[in-house]
Structure 1
Amino acid sequence: MSLMNSSPRPRDLQGDRASRSPSVSVVIPYYDSAATIGRALSSVAAQTMPPIEVIIVDDCSQPAQRAALDALRDEEAAVPVRVLHQEANGGPAAARNRGWEAARGEWIAFLDSDDSWHPRRLELQCRALTERTLMVSADSRVLSDDQPPPVDSVETDVRAERLGLGRHIVRNPHTTSSVLMRRTVPARFTPGRFYAEDYELWIRVAALGEVLTLPTPLAYFHKDPFGTSGLSSRIWRMIVGEHRTFVILRREGVLSLPQFLIAELVMTARIGRRLVLRTARSVRGNKLVT
């Protein structure tokens, strides 16, 4: 299977310069995502620094949805694509782990099948890497479902920020589709978890070494932002997931007791803020009705 071609890449990023770039494998978990996988793959094909491969892990999709992946075999090649099939649905954590283990690149770039990237995502992140870097992310932007990924220029001289363990226990500073991870990192997503499983991994990696982020939007979510489409129940499940993450990491000794308490206090404050904002909106709405 191969990835469809995109627009030509700048000449100064081709040839011997590309050969000196870190090798990157893209890992995409796929579950009944025929409607969006093309957009995700197109954003990979448009990268100014192309990856060496794309690994799509089909998480036991419906037969028709699997067939949609097979249809991509007829597209012209730009980046090699491999499809791995899970025998049972295990969730995105298990799918990402499977792709991670199968990857050939030095680095793993995660991308969800309904998200997309800025064309310079891999280029700018690889430029920020140091010998000590274990992981680098970037800012993300929410787009509407039918809005294509922006191709406008981004700040190219942006400086990477180092995020220590303390920054990670205050809040989740990364989105999965913006993360570039060193393949040899001795940690993985926890299989079977559906909320905050990524947050758990980021904290584990931050406890091991250097984690960076680029304060410029290089990844895009094609969905409505939280709070605009009845997603409050999902937010609460994510908060519960965060609490479980802190408990697990404290039990394993990744977090000290003071770090665990700070994380729980900050999370409690965040919940309180949400309740206050929700109450205020409800009161304003009632006043408008009356």
Structure 2
Amino acid sequence: MNPLVSILIPTHNRPEYFELALASALMQTYPNIEIVVGDNSTNNLTEQIVAKHRSHPRGSVIRYYHHSGNIGPIANQQQLLNLANGEYINYLNDDDLFHPRKIEIMMRHILSHTNVVLVTSQRRVIDSKGKRIFVPPIGTFKVLRPVDTVIDGGVLTRDMLQDRTNYIGEPTTALFRRRDLTEPFGVLAGKQVLFAVDMASWFSLMTRGHAIYLVQPLSYLRFHPEQLSQSKYAQKIAEMDYKVFERFAKLRGFA
């Protein structure tokens, strides 16, 4: 039987983008999924979208939670992970999209390697209208390997630490085995990261195994002005995170 994969969608006041993200999750060709939505919205527009999509042939796989107040993006991600039933996890940011075969392809690869804890891939960047951006405004989109490759977890961690670059990608990009993430999402060696939350968990996972990098683009990162990463405070918070990463590097012998 195909293991259950939990697709976790944290969302906040982006009903138009959320509906597209949810549709891309429902269109997955992998047969055994659940979709868990954590809604921080201040209105019921997202809830209405979920209700509409329950008539989809796979609508019964959606589990929806509307928080009584905005608990913030990190707490939302962490609560979703606690609510998930799946043996494997893939976050889906509410403004991003999945390729229809993303989960199917990634699960085939991770199940064929006992020492792999995470699968990532190339991704495409799209704008607010869904049009592809060919020159990404951020510099993390280089092709890591020319072919599908198993990358040693320590090697990948060292490269990411030294280059200060998230080569694995955003939460949407990577699928991972849940049991190998031993701390809450975004916590690294006991320290909560505030901005590069995904990097913290990728580092944690890489201490327990290797990653597979796939050259086929399997997700779509939407770049738009409303992203938290575009905040004027983002860079300052990111610098605080790197102090946590430097501490981790010393603990693990990477510094």
TM-score normalised by the chain length of structure 1: 0.68
Q: Could you tell me the TM-score, scaled by structure 2's length?
A: 0.76
Alpha-carbon spacing, 1:87–1:230, altered in 2? closer, same or farther (3 Å): closer
Q: Which moved more, 1:26-35 or 1:183-192?
A: 183-192
Q: Which residue number corresponds to residue 141 of structure 1?
A: 124
Partner of 1:248: 244
* CA separation of 1:103 and 1:70: change in aligned 2, threshold 3 A: same
Q: Tell whether the 8 Å contact from 1:199 to 1:242 is kept in structure 2 after alignment.
A: no
Structure number with the higher helix fraction is 1
Paired position in structure 2 for 1:5: none
Q: Is the 8 A contact 2:38 2:76 kept in 1?
A: yes
SS at match of 2:24: helix
Q: CA deviation at 1:182?
A: 1.1
Q: CA separation in 2, counterparts of 1:106 and 1:112?
A: 20
Rg larger for: 1
Deviation at 1:139?
Answer: 1.5
How many residues matched? Answer: 226
Q: Paired residue for 2:8?
A: 27
Q: Which residue of 1 aligns with 2:106?
A: 125
Whether the 8 Å CA contact 1:91–1:193 is kept in 2: the answer is no
- Measure the CA separation in 1 of the matches of 2:26 and 2:17: 15
State yes or no: 1:78 paired with 2:58. Answer: yes
Any idea what SS the aligned residue of 1:75 has? Answer: coil
- What is residue 48 of structure 1 aligned with on the other side? 29
- Answering whether residue 156 of structure 2 is matched by residue 168 of structure 1, we say no
Q: Which amino acid in the other structure matches residue 177 of structure 1?
A: T
Deviations 1:144-178 (A, max 9, x none): 323389xxxxxxxx523415321221211122111
Cα RMSD of the aligned pairs, angstroms, is 2.9
Deviates more, 1:208-217 or 1:26-35: 208-217
Q: What SS is found at the alignment partner of 1:50?
A: coil
Q: In structure 2, what is the Cα distance between the partners aligned to 1:74 and 1:48?
A: 18
Residue aligned with 1:255, SS: helix
Alignment of 1:1-290 (within 5 A): 19=1, 21-59=2-40, 61-72=41-52, 74-79=54-59, 80-129=61-110, 130-147=113-130, 158-162=147-151, 163=153, 164-169=156-161, 170=163, 171-173=165-167, 174-184=169-179, 185-190=181-186, 194-224=194-224, 234=230, 237-251=233-247, 254-256=248-250, 259-260=254-255
User: Within 2, Cα distance between the matches of 1:74 and 1:110?
Assistant: 20
Whichever residue aligns with residue 212 of structure 1, its letter is I
166 and 74 in structure 1: CA distance in 2 versus 1, 3 angstrom threshold: closer
Matched residue of 1:208: which SS?
coil
Any stretches of 5+ residues in structure 1 without a counterpart? 1-18, 150-157, 261-290
1:44 aligns to what SS in structure 2? Answer: helix
Query: Is the 2:13–2:43 Cα contact (8 Å) retained in structure 1?
Result: no
- Post-superposition offset of 1:235: 7.5
- CA deviations 1:221-250 (Å, max 9, x no partner) are 2335xxxx699x937744434432231244
Cα distance in structure 2, aligned partners of 1:74 and 1:133: 34
Which 10-residue stretch deviates more, 198-207 or 68-77? 68-77
**Which moves more between the two structures, 189-198 or 209-218?**
189-198
